Amino acid sequence: MNLPTKAIIGTQWGDEGKGKITDCLAEDADFVVRFQGGTNAGHTIGIGDEIFKLHLLPSGILRRGVMAVIGNGVVVDPEELLEEIRMVESRGIAVEGLRISDRANVIMPYHKILDGAEEKSRGPKGVGTTGRGIGPCYSDKISRYGVRIGDLTDKATLEEKINMIFPTKLRLIAAFGAPPLDAVKDIIDTYSSYGSALGKYVTDTSVMINEAIRNGKKVLFEGAQGTMLDIDHGTYPYVTSSSCVTGGICTGAGVPPSSIKEVVGVVKAYTTRVGHGPFVTELTSGLGEYLQKRGGEFGTTTGRARRCGWLDLVVVRHAVRINGITSLAITKIDVLNGMEELRIATDYEIDGQIVKDFPSSISKLVRAKPIYQEFDGWKDWTKDETEKIISNGYRTLPIEMRRYLRFISSNVAVPIGIVSLGPKRDETMYLRNKKWEN
Ligand code: IMP
């Protein structure tokens, strides 16, 4: 069946610009669905002169008439979600299209406390988490200690669950010497009030999405983080705690694999990562700092400066293979404007051997040296010129930029569908005729 469904997946360590690409493709979509992650995500979207920073709300919320779904695989911090709803409403955005899965797990106050405590106890070997309680919440989900969104709307169940979980959490928190929790009764009352506030949005979202797909609706699955932060396929243990890859859509939204038709891999034209862990093409010289400033590479969620480096195609090929990427969206290529010379890593050299596939071992990665291909840079241009370039099409991009783009596409054997030349909606070049016909 010719399904109009698309997935937007990060091919690097997150922050590739998935929010903007989702927002662009959401223009004609009926549903935008988040399937993993939580408030650790930060999606920045520029509309006119306004900038929206979203953490939990699917980016589709900014498009009128689009259903914005938080799937069961997301971990929901209800306090943050209500705050985000208030923020967008105060800026004139309606949220009646929001739906939240009754099966989604809830981030509880002890998850946030334990996230900080676990990081502290790891000392210099810390993951560098966002401190939003993500890891402890997913751990509780897997060990069947989780509170789900559906529980918040049923006070008796909520009370029973929290009373059962609470003593263990108190012992853990005391063992870590972490700050104490509020009284159990207060937590139950607060979370029950969140349930009352969110109740109108809560439903079985899997039923809804599958019905939409059956009826030929355009459904966009919005990934958060990226393949290299995936719990299985990323640079473990320097990863997040969810499945950020295409496979995560099936479990995190409750849809069969056959319902995912196209997979758009979002590739930033260079590489960044926040937090700790190996990064083979990292630029620790002034060039890294230059990219950080020019690209505004500071975390949307934590404000931390992102580490920057050259584009790494060993990483992107890993992502292409695991996600079944069918087209690429290249973002932030304008950040490279005006640089004299550019590099792209095609392979690694580890202990004298050429390595083409991304290794699983952190100790190997630490020894990996990038093998680079060099490229001439292209001239800078003004913001006004971007408009002209976009309306005149791909051929008006500088020849050196086209060479850079062509190299990426042929090396990873996937066509480019979108080139993003700035943060705004209209700073986007589509290399295919229609956005939903790849
Ligand atoms: P956590 O997801 O807060 O547990 O953090 C685990 C790792 O993932 C840390 O290195 C974070 O910096 C990173 N991380 C989590 N979410 C994002 C994101 O949206 N963009 C980039 N890095 C992220």
DSSP 274-331: -SSS--TTB--SHHHHHHHHHTT-B-TTT-PBPEEE-EEHHHHHHHHHHHT--EEEEE
First to last CA, the chain: 15
398 pocket-lining for ligand 1 (C-beta < 6 Å): no
Q: CATH number for the domain including 168?
A: 1.10.300.10
What is the C-alpha radius of gyration for the chain, rounded to an integer number of angstroms?
A: 22
Residue 285 lies in a domain: yes
DSSP state of 353: E
Report the alpha-carbon distance of residue 263 to residue 95 in Å, rounded: 27
Q: Domain boundary at 201, 234, 251, which?
A: 201
- The whole-angstrom separation of Cα 13 and Cα 16 is 8
Q: If DSSP codes are grouped into helix, strand and coil, which group holds residue 264?
A: strand
- Residue ranges in the chain whose pLDDT is less than 70: 1-2, 433-438
Structure token digits, residue 172: 């853990």
Same structural domain, 74 and 141: no
Amino acid at position 293, single letter? K
d(Cα 38, Cα 179) in Å, to the nearest integer?
23
Same domain, 113 and 162: yes
From 163, 179, 201, give the residue that closes a domain: 201
Length of the chain: 438
Amino acid 37 reads: G
The token pair at 21 is 């690409």
Amino acid present at 410 = S
Domain presence at residue 437: no
Pocket residue to mutate for ligand 1, from 16, 34, 40, most atoms within 8 A of Cβ: 40
Range of the domain at 152: 105-201
**Interior CA angle at 323 toward 318 and 326, to 5°?**
105
Domain count, the chain: 2
pLDDT attached to residue 56: 96
Q: Are residues 350 and 323 in the same domain?
A: yes
CA dihedral 275, 277, 280, 286 (to 10 degrees): 40
Q: Are 173 and 113 in contact (CB under 8 A)?
A: yes
189 domain-assigned: yes
Are residues 218 and 195 both part of a single domain? no
SS3 (DSSP) at 241: coil
Query: Does residue 99 sit within a domain?
Result: no
CA distances from 251 to 103, 146, 266 (A): 11, 17, 21
* Same domain, residue pair 301 and 177: no
CA angle 371, 372, 373 (to 5 degrees): 135
Report which of 307, 301, 304 is spatially closest to residue 280, judged by C-alpha positions.
307
Backbone φ and ψ of 261, nearest 5°: -90, -60
Phi, psi torsion values for 248, nearest 5 degrees: -65, -20
Position 434 scores a pLDDT of 58
Looking at residue 438, its pLDDT comes to 46
User: Residues of 135-171 as b/e, b for ≥16 C-beta within 10 angstroms?
Assistant: bbbbebbeeebbbbbbbbbebeebbebbeebbeebee
Strand partners, 327: 264
Count of alpha carbons within 13 Å of 137, Cβ hemisphere only?
A: 28
Inside any domain, residue 219: yes
CB 332 within 8 A of CB 268: yes
| Residue with the two structure tokens 């990219």 | 291
Distance (Å) from CA 240 to ligand 1 centroid:
6
User: How far is it, in rounded angstroms, from Cα 73 to Cα 83?
Assistant: 21
Residues with active-site annotation: 15, 43
Q: Are residues 412 and 347 in the same domain?
A: yes
Confirm or reject: Cβ of 242 under 6 Å from ligand 1. no
8 A C-beta contact, residue 411 and residue 389: no
Which residue bears the tokens 């290794």? Answer: 359
pTM higher than 0.75: yes
Query: Quick one: which atom of ligand 1 is closest to the CA of 134?
Result: 4
Can you give the CATH number for the domain in which 228 is found? 3.40.440.10
Tell me: do 283 and 364 sit in the same domain. yes
My answer on whether 53 and 69 are in the same domain is yes
Atom of ligand 1 nearest to the CA of 242: 2
Residue 436 amino acid letter: W
Task: Give the Cα separation of 272 and 234 in Å (integer).
Answer: 14
CB 41 within 8 A of CB 301: yes
- 324 and 312 within one domain: yes
| Nearest alpha carbon, ligand 1 atom 10 | 275
Cα(74)–Cα(82) distance, integer angstroms: 15
Ligand 1 site-directed mutation target among 11, 77, 129, 300, most atoms within 8 Å of CB: 129
Q: Both 384 and 298 in a single domain?
A: yes
Q: Classify residue 187 by its DSSP letter.
A: H
| Statement to judge: residues 317 and 405 lie in one domain | yes
pLDDT at 327: 96
Ligand 1 atom with the smallest distance to the CA of 277 is 10
Decide if 141 is inside a domain.
yes
Q: 438 in a domain, yes or no?
A: no
Pair 157, 221 in one domain: no
98 in any annotated domain:
no
Domain boundary among 148, 174, 201: 201
- Can you read off the two tokens belonging to residue 228? 């290299």
- At 394 the pLDDT is 93
